[in-house]
């Protein structure tokens, strides 16, 4: 298990390296003339050249990347070209917002899709069909549409929650809850739909297995067989899908943060990418990729805990 984890971690670091290089190269193409953008159209060419040189832009892309990398491995992601803000501190204020969003959605999805999936699988019939139809609809509906409807109904019509804005957890717990509930709900719809389907499928699959019959033949209560044995066996594939959903959520967060006016990683990405602020974008990409790597690792560990057979692999 340990060597397995070490290997996965190594692969994660490699992934970070490759993605950082690719992102860096891609970013260097459209934003060659950053000095001009910074100083304005009327600035003399000499000043623009001097600005570009001071940012290191007169050197080759690879040299620039090497420079960035050598600082990054020491934990220095540099400063924003446009605001001069330290990238880490900019990330530090935005990250908690997106984290509370994404973690919230993941928890809600895990609980709801487990309940729905098991319910549909065990009950069958009408319940099963309703859950099936709802999850197809939920999965197919575009996220922005769900978000807009949610805002319209719960914020504008009913006025239960604020439509936009964010209150940090440290400032007010109830305020945090009220600002985070709608975005979480909006993002959860698609995720629950996808994972519930997976839970339903794997529960049905496990229910067919021989050991379930044998456990029943021992006289164990059906509820115990279901929640202790069936759900545990069915959870590994569901967890994998949940992990994938999490990765998708990072993308979904961009949209939802824009709509709800949440100052998170997603809205930050939009803001800085349009300006071509390379150090900040690099920081954002690194944090997102690291998040994905960590979540995948976590899923692997959890699957290993739940299913001893997977520990060997």
Q: How far is residue 225's CA from residue 91's CA, in Å, rounded to a whole number?
A: 46
- Nearest distance, CB of residue 225 and other proteins, angstroms: 9
User: Judged by CB, which is closer to other proteins: 192, or 225?
Assistant: 225
Q: Which of 265, 287, 257, 252 is nearest to 23 (CA)?
A: 287
CA nearest 196: which of 233, 247, 237, 166?
237
Angle formed at CA 82 by CA 79 and CA 86, multiple of 5 degrees: 20
- Closest to other proteins by CB, 129 vs 216, is 216
Q: Considering the complex, what minimum distance in angstroms separates the CB of residue 200 from other proteins?
A: 17
Provide, rounded to whole angstroms, the least separation between the CB of residue 210 and other proteins.
4
CB of 114 to other proteins, least distance (A): 16
Nearest to other proteins of 91, 236 (CB atom): 236
Q: State the minimum distance, in angstroms, from the CB of residue 301 to other proteins.
A: 15
Radius of gyration of the chain (CA): 24
- 72/225 with CB nearer other proteins: 225
Binding footprint of other proteins on the chain (CB under 8 A): 209-211, 213-222, 224, 228-229, 232-233, 306-309
127, 131, 142, 179 from 123: Cα distances, Å: 6, 11, 29, 36
In degrees, rounded to 5, the angle at the alpha carbon of residue 248 between the alpha carbons of residues 245 and 254 is 140
**71 vs 216, beta carbon nearer other proteins:** 216
């Amino acid at each position: 298990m340990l060597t397995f984890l070490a290997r996965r971690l190594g692969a994660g670091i490699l992934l970070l390296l490759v993605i950082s290089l690719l992102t860096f190269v891609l970013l260097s193409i459209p934003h060659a003339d950053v000095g001009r953008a910074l100083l304005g159209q009327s600035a003399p060419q000499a000043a623009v050249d001097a600005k570009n040189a001071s940012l290191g832009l007169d050197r080759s892309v690879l040299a620039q990347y090497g420079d960035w990398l050598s600082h990054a491995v020491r934990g220095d992601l540099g400063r924003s070209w446009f605001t001069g803000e330290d990238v880490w501190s900019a990330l530090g204020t935005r990250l908690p917002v997106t984290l509370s969003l994404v973690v919230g959605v993941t928890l809600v999805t895990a609980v709801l899709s487990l309940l729905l999936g098991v319910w549909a699988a065990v009950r069958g019939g009408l319940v099963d069909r309703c859950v099936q139809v709802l999850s197809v609809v939920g999965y197919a509906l575009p996220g922005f549409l769900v978000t807009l409807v949610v805002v319209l109904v719960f914020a504008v019509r009913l006025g239960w929650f604020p439509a936009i804005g964010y209150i940090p957890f440290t400032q007010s717990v109830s305020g945090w809850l009220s600002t985070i509930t709608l975005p979480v709900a909006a993002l959860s719809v698609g995720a629950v739909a996808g994972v519930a389907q997976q839970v339903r499928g794997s529960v049905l699959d496990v229910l067919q297995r021989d050991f379930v019959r044998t456990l029943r033949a021992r006289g164990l209560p059906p509820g115990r067989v279901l929640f202790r044995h069936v759900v545990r066996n069915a959870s590994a594939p569901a967890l994998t899908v949940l992990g994938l959903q999490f990765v998708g959520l990072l993308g979904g967060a961009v949209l939802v943060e824009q709509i709800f006016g949440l100052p998170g990683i997603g809205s930050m990405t939009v803001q800085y990418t349009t300006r071509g602020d390379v150090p900040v974008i690099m920081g954002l990409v690194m944090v997102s990729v690291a998040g994905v790597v960590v979540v995948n690792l976590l899923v692997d560990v959890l699957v290993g805990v739940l299913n001893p057979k997977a520990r060997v692999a």
